[in-house]
Amino acid sequence: MDIRPVSAEQPIHFIGVGGSSMSGLAVMLHRLGHRVSGSDREESANLQVVRACGVPVTVGHRATNLGEDTRVVVTTPGIAPDNPELAEARRRGLTVVDRADVLAGIMDRHTTGIAVAGTHGKTTTTSLTVEALTAAGLDPAASLGTRVTPEGGNYRLGHGDHFVAEACEYHRNFLRLSPRIAVVLNIEAEHSDYFTGLDDVLAAFRDFTHRVRPGGVLIVSADCPRARDLTVGEGRTRVSFGTAADADYRAEALTWHDGRPRFTVTYRGEELGELAPRLLGRHNVANVLAAVAAGHQAGLTLDRMRAGLERFGGAPRRVEYKGTRNGVRVFDDIACHPNEIAATMQAIRGSAPGGRSLVVLRPNSFTRVRDFMHQYADCFTGRETVVVTDIYRARDTETYGLSSLDLVRAMRESGRDVRYTKEPAAIKELASASLRDGDVLVTIGPGDIGSLGEAWLAEET
């Protein structure tokens, strides 16, 4: 959707405005002068941000939420076809567009669109790229997947020529974008409620590379075999990043300090400078390199970007440090895929050598549990006790006859110390009884699982 022909006199309504990207897009259009309204099924922090910015929002989906003068309705694949607002929009013949088209329309307003794609790491890398460009004085606009910007939302209202967007592969949404710089962090089997398998995911990413504009740049991970095999059309440039010997952007002389990396960045053998990010974990070395590559291909030196790259402390719920109680540190992470969980645990182990961990895991979706049942155990070692809670339903329409007990049994067969409970009181009691100075409490998963760690921190000792 090219939003430029939509005048301020043609109100735009967002169904599901509290969504991770919908909220930011609604506020951005509002700040661009459009008349915007929205609704969602329940109250949320994102909804509060949208409301505070002056956008009228309604809790609950009803046909009457669409004003008489509403002309455009924005939706997502997650909105059911029988949603009363969507049904009303179709009955009235209103223009119905996907949020991905709105994102594309906003990107097209800018001279340089930067799209960050990959099955893992998009939010962190997008945030790092925004910080790098901001430190360099470029004042970029941005659309992100979590509340990470100074405005308190998942957007940045920049006034420069650059727009940085988290480019989601789900439902092939990123194929609406036409970036000048495209980043592919990694490609793995994911979203099997939509994709038919890894080959289908890979085909979508190949199509994404064809969206790079003439004269543009494709940046791929040299450490992910599927990403490094991607090519780009004539008149475009392809560069790579990673620790592989043939990567264009490399992290060399890598050392670790309390789980945080320090390394020298080189570009095709030329030293660009040293970086000491605040982020934990080896996976974040790749994310930082990708952001460096994006900024460098946009014409920036590492010296201009360094302050932004080194001050960024991480996106919410991405290996997020929540506090310490009696020498026990508490972390929270939204990790959904087993490989994301494994990366999170590797990062936390590196920051707590010798310590033990109590991990509270809320599996994200019956589909992932079905597909990766026997990979969850590989995320953990003998240093961790894992408490599995009920599976989060997410977009699932069926349970496949599975429960958390099936996952617990599979993990126990691999020798892991794992148990099931859904009682917060029991988990907090276990934490108090088993954890000592130097240990770690970790909450992993979607929804409000992180509140359990916060509640444990708040208890009197």
* pLDDT at 394 (0 to 100): 81
Q: How far is CA 266 from CA 143, 249, 302, 368, 453, in A?
A: 29, 6, 10, 38, 40
Q: Closest Cα partner for 223 from 294, 164, 282, 300?
A: 282
- Tens-place pLDDT, residues 137-147: 999 999 987 76
Average pLDDT of the chain is: 92
User: What are the residue boundaries of the structural domains of the chain, listed by start?
Assistant: 12-96, 108-311, 320-458
- Which comes out higher in pLDDT, residue 411 or 78? 411
* pLDDT at 1 (0 to 100): 46
- For residue 353, give the H/E element and its range: none
126 SS3 class: helix
Domain 108-311 in this protein, CATH class: alpha beta
37 SS3 class: strand
- Tens-place pLDDT, residues 286-314: 999 999 999 999 999 999 999 999 999 98
Q: List the end-to-end C-alpha distance of the chain, in Å, as a whole number.
A: 55
Kindly tell me if the per-residue pLDDT of 232 is higher than 60. Answer: yes
Query: Which residues touch 214 (CB under 8 Å, ≥6 apart)?
Result: 235, 236
For the chain, the maximum distance between any two Cα atoms, rounded to a whole number of angstroms, is 64
Kindly tell me if the per-residue pLDDT of 229 is higher than 60. Answer: yes
Query: Which residues touch 76 (CB under 8 Å, ≥6 apart)?
Result: 15, 16, 19, 22, 98, 99
51 SS3 class: helix
Q: Is 412 exposed, middle or buried (0-12, 13-18, 19+ CB in 10 A)?
A: middle
* pLDDT at 151 (0 to 100): 53
- Calculate mean pLDDT across residues 97-114: 93
Please tell me the distance from the alpha carbon of residue 14 to that of residue 286, in angstroms, as a whole number: 35
Of the options 3.40.190.10, 3.90.190.20, 3.30.70.380, 3.90.550.10, the CATH number for the domain spanning 320-458:
3.90.190.20
* pLDDT category of residue 150 using cuts at 50, 70 and 90: low
- Tens-place pLDDT, residues 155-179: 888 889 999 999 999 899 999 999 9
Q: Count of alpha carbons within 13 Å of 188, Cβ hemisphere only? A: 16
CATH 3.20.20.410 fits 12-96, yes or no: no
- Tens-place pLDDT, residues 316-332: 889 999 999 999 999 99
Kindly tell me if the per-residue pLDDT of 148 is higher than 60. Answer: no
DSSP-derived secondary structure letter, 397: S
